[in-house]
Amino acid sequence: MSTVAETQIKLTPEHDARPGASVRSRLQDLLPKIVLAPSFAATIVFVYGFILWTIYLSFTNSKTFPSYAITGPRAYQRLWRWTFESDPPSSWYTSITNMGIFGFLYILICLALGLFLAILLDQKIRGEGVLRPIYLYPMALSFIVTGVAWKWFLDPGLGLEQTLHQWGWTSFHFDWIKNKDFVIYTVVIAGVWQASGFIMAMFLAGLRGIDGEIMKAAQIDGASTFQLYRRIVIPLLRPVFLSAFIVLAHLAIKSYDLVVALTSGGPGGSAWLPSNFMYEFTFKRNEMAVGSASAVIMLMTLTAIIVPYLYSELREKPR
């Protein structure tokens, strides 16, 4: 764009003759860049710059404050050793297994539930305008609010269990949030509650974008409703799956506040996710190198999952 503008200026000599106009046009030319520059700089420094800085710190011996002498991959060696300490579980082992359980269930259930709700809502039902925002609103809450609300609801002494006991069902027992082996599933429940409505909205938009003619043609060819969705609608929704997956994957990886608000780490730290591990080690335990190393591993894992997926999805269909 700028080169075109520059050549235009050179081709018309009267611009040089009138300095006022020249400055003005040059300013006009520069203006978008000046406006964009702060956010560009912020991204370069605060995202990519700090990624590099974190990688650098992970190879130092930084404790409370950053130290800049490279001392080798000791932090990674420690994390690697902790990866295999399952009995009793090391904090890192707990964090990564929880990430696996939480990430898998959260993404899978959100996608399934979102698609299911979207298909139901797409049946031209009455009151859709009321129902849609009801499902969507949890997304408007912050994770802290979701976490606190579910913490009270799931607390055996305050919420669901207590209420059902008062109603007479005294044998009812649901204390997952207090149980070291099940607490991570309560994080899944709260997370799914919050995000599935948003995923539903994404799928609903996708469904509305499907050409009705294709559906009719399939119906004329004798496709059952199940076949219609299985063979035509869901394959057509593939780009929505991609977007939804990416939204959910990054929400899952950065879930920190939900764990803190819902479980404050869980019994004996059993609800930790890698982000909790990273914060604890960097800021509370003054082991900045270990914290940085765990952040780098999170980034690598995310890259390893997302990049091939993006690559295959975006390359397949050249437009």
Partner 1 sequence: MLRKLLIGTALATSFAFSAHAADVKEVQMLHWWTSGGEAAALNVLKQDLAKEGYAWKDVPVAGGGGDAAMTALKAMVAAGNYPTASQMLGYTVLDYAAAGVMGDLTETAKKEGWDKSVPAALQKFSVYDGKWVAAPVNVHSVNWLWINKAVMDKIGGTEPKTFDDFVALLDKAKAAGVIPLALGGQNWQEATMFDSVVLSTGGPEFYKKAMNDLDEESLKSDTMKKSFDNLAKLVKYVDPNFSGRDWNLATAMVIKGDALVQVMGDWAKGEFHAANKTPGTDFLCYRFPGTDGSVVYNSDMFGMFNVPDDRKAAQVALATATLSKSFQSAFNVVKGSVPARTDVPDTDFDACGKKGIADLKKANEGGTLFGSLAQGYGAPPAVANAYKDVVSKFVHGQIKTSDEAVTELVKAIDDAK
**Which contacts qualify for 50-55: CB closer than 8 Å, 24 or more apart?**
51/299, 54/292, 54/295, 54/296, 55/292, 55/296
Q: How many residues bind partner 1 (CB under 8 A)?
A: 38
Which range of residues in 11-19, 63-71, 237-245, 248-256 is near partner 1 by CB under 8 A?
Answer: 63-71
Contact between 46 and partner 1 per CB under 8 A? no
Burial 63-76 (b: 16+ CB within 10 A, else e): eeeeeeeeeeeebb
> Binder to partner 1 among 101, 180, 182, 257 (CB under 8 A)?
180
Nearest-approach distance from CB 198 to partner 1, in angstroms = 27
Smallest distance, Å, CB 65 to partner 1? 6
Using the rule CB under 8 A, which residue among 109, 117, 177, 202 binds partner 1?
177
Amino acid sitting at position 142 = S
Instruction: Write down the least CB distance from residue 254 to partner 1, Å.
Output: 17
* 294 touches 76 (CB < 8 A): no
Q: Does 18 bind partner 1 (CB under 8 A)?
A: no
73 binds partner 1 (CB under 8 A): no
Which one of the spans 121-129, 173-181, 241-249, 297-305 is the region binding partner 1 (CB under 8 A)? 173-181
Does residue 50 bind partner 1 (CB under 8 A)? Answer: no
Q: Contacting partner 1 (CB under 8 A), which of 33, 230, 238, 250?
A: 33
Q: Which of 64, 71, 77, 170 binds partner 1 (CB under 8 A)?
A: 64
Q: Using the minimum distance from each CB to partner 1, give the nearer residue, 7 or 286.
A: 286
Among 25, 55, 73, 156, binds partner 1 (CB under 8 A): 156
The answer to whether residue 13 forms part of the interface with partner 1 (CB under 8 A) is no
- The minimum distance between CB 181 and partner 1, in angstroms, equals 9
Instruction: Give the chain as a DSSP string.
Output: -HHHHHHHHHH-THHHH-HHHHHHHHHHHHHHHHHHHHHHHHHIIIIIIHHHHHHHHHTBT-SSS---SB--THHHHHHHHHHT-BTTBPHHHHHHHHHHHHHHHHHHHHHHHHHHHHHHHTTT-TTHHHHHHHHHGGGGS-HHHHHHHHHHHH-TTTSHHHHHHHTT-TT----GGG-TTTHHHHHHHHHHHHHHHHHHHHHHHHHHTS-HHHHHHHHHTT--HHHIIIIIIHHHTHHHHHHHHHHHHHHHHT--HHHHHHHTT-GGGTT--HHHHHHIIIIIS--HHHHHHHHHHHHHHHHHHHHHHHHHHHHHS--
Task: Give me the 206-245 binding string for partner 1, x by CB under 8 A, dash otherwise.
Answer: ----------------------------------------
Positions 272 through 301 that interact with partner 1 (CB under 8 A): 280, 283-287
Q: Does 2 bind partner 1 (CB under 8 A)?
A: yes
Place of tokens 């979207």: 118
Should residue 265 be labelled a site residue for partner 1 when binding is judged by CB under 8 A?
yes
Residues 88-107 vs partner 1: string with x where CB under 8 A?
Answer: xx-x----------------
Residues forming contacts to partner 1 in the complex (CB under 8 A) are: 1-2, 30, 33-34, 36-38, 40-41, 63-65, 78, 88-89, 91, 155-157, 175, 177-178, 180, 263-270, 280, 283-287
